[in-house]
Structure 1
Amino acid sequence: MTEDLATRVLATARVRGWHIATAESCTGGMVGAALTEIAGSSDVFDRGYVTYSNAAKTEMIGVPPELIARHGAVSEEVARAMAEGARAASGVELAIAITGVAGPGASEAKPEGLVWFAAATAAGTDAERHDFGPLGRARVRFESTRAALALALRALLAPV
């Protein structure tokens, strides 16, 4: 299913003439890997930022440290800032961001399986929250990759 989604994302981006960047935290580059697993993806996939630490989010894609301090790395605000920062830093038409708690090490406020996603385009930035639950680290990361690809596809199919 991930390969099918990645193939559809790449094909739709090609039709639109768009390029894609990713900003990934809890997935550690899995969305970029899913896209680049498809032969010929280099005409669409521009780059991926693995911004696992808060410092990386700030240094690589310009997420303000005070935003992270105020809302936490796993938040709608930070996901939006990650997507917008990746889009600005790379100059692509679409940037997808993922930040979440794959587990273990969750808290009551931010439980295992809580993941925020954002898609930034010239039309604006959309964000969504997924509560996958305590599926285990590998499964949360896999489901997050699929959700990010689905969000990318929706952003690509949206009217401009």
Structure 2
Amino acid sequence: MASHKVNACCQALIEKNLTISFAESASAGKMCYEFSTVFNSGKILIGGIVSYHSSMKEDLLHIPWGTIEKYSAESAEVTKLMAQNFCRYISSDICVALTGLTTPGGSESEEKPVGTIFIHIIIAEKEIARHFEFEGNPESIINQAIDAVAELILEEI
């Protein structure tokens, strides 16, 4: 069941007749799923893509070769490109991209610990980029990130 924040965000999108789509990495489709569980979600949810592995980001989301190597798959730069490139092919009013670290490994470092999440949202001509550090287990980190996305959208629309 969707959180209160996701519910509120979806209701606002429905009222304003706005659609939404997702390009997800760390959340592996859970964000799209959460938005799909809200009553009347068919009025707003266009869909999403899960690009967990770098090859998906490069092959399907057209992240230029070498970009991930330079910045890492979990970075503001890659998240921004995921949102921008996905938005070109999907007809939706809002496009959300999310990457991050929910488990040890990957590009984890002192500057980028587990719990680091990058979000990039495109709404009309405006782009919102945020970097969060959440605490908890992988599921908790993802749930906090999904709520953060809902809050950011609510603030903007």
Q: TM-score, normalised by structure 2?
A: 0.89
Q: Which of 128, 131, 134 matches 2:130?
A: 128
In the TM superposition, 1:65-144 aligns within 5 A as: 65-105=65-105, 106-133=108-135, 135-144=136-145
| C-alpha contact (below 8 Å) 2:29/2:49 kept by paired residues | yes
Report the Cα distance in structure 2 between the residues aligned to 1:2 and 1:65, rounded to whole angstroms. 36
Report the Cα distance in structure 2 between the residues aligned to 1:90 and 1:22, rounded to whole angstroms. 10
Report the Cα distance in structure 1 between the residues aligned to 2:43 and 2:10, rounded to whole angstroms. 9
Q: TM-score, normalised by structure 1?
A: 0.87
Report the Cα distance in structure 2 between the residues aligned to 1:13 and 1:126, rounded to whole angstroms. 17
Equivalent pairs, count: 155
The sequence identity of aligned pairs, in percent, is: 23
Q: CA, structure 1 residues 153+63, in 2 after alignment: closer, same or farther (shift >3 Å)?
A: farther
Counterpart residue identity of residue 153, structure 2: A
Bigger CA drift: 25-34 or 138-147?
138-147
Counterpart residue identity of residue 124, structure 1: K
- 1:37 corresponds in structure 2 to 37
3-state SS of 1:18 partner:
coil
Q: CA, structure 1 residues 91+62, in 2 after alignment: closer, same or farther (shift >3 Å)?
A: farther
3-state SS of 1:97 partner:
strand
Richer in helix (by share): 1
Report the Cα distance in structure 1 between the residues aligned to 2:102 and 2:92, rounded to whole angstroms. 28
| C-alpha contact (below 8 Å) 1:61/1:89 kept by paired residues | no
User: Which 5+ residue runs of structure 1 have no aligned equivalent?
Assistant: none
User: Which 5+ residue runs of structure 2 have no aligned equivalent?
Assistant: none
- 1:46 corresponds in structure 2 to 46
1:64-96 CA-to-partner distances (Å, cap 9, x unmatched) read 233222211111111111111221121211011
Report the Cα distance in structure 1 between the residues aligned to 2:122 and 2:33, rounded to whole angstroms. 20
